[in-house]
């Protein structure tokens, strides 16, 4: 019983971590798709 409960807890923890990083990645993608950020990224690429 305790082993199953431990597995459930670890799965919940993994989902929580994935959600946290997933949210960060989605925000980054949204930021990159905004025209102003695209210009900044474009000029940063030209500078390199």
pLDDT tier at 37, thresholds 50, 70, 90: low
Distance separating alpha carbons of residues 15 and 34, to the nearest angstrom: 28
Render 3-14 in DSSP notation, one character per residue. HHHHHHHHHHHH
17 against 46, higher pLDDT = 17
Q: Is 32 within 8 Å of 38 (Cβ atoms)?
A: yes
Distance separating alpha carbons of residues 8 and 1, to the nearest angstrom: 11
pLDDT tier at 30, thresholds 50, 70, 90: confident
In degrees to the nearest 10, what's the CA dihedral of 31, 33, 34, 35?
140
Is the pTM above the cut of 0.75?
Answer: no
């Amino acid at each position: 019983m305790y082993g199953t409960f431990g597995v459930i807890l670890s799965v919940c923890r993994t989902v929580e971590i994935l959600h946290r990083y997933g949210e960060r990645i989605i925000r980054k993608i949204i930021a990159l798709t905004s025209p102003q950020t695209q210009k900044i990224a474009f000029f940063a690429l030209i500078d390199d």
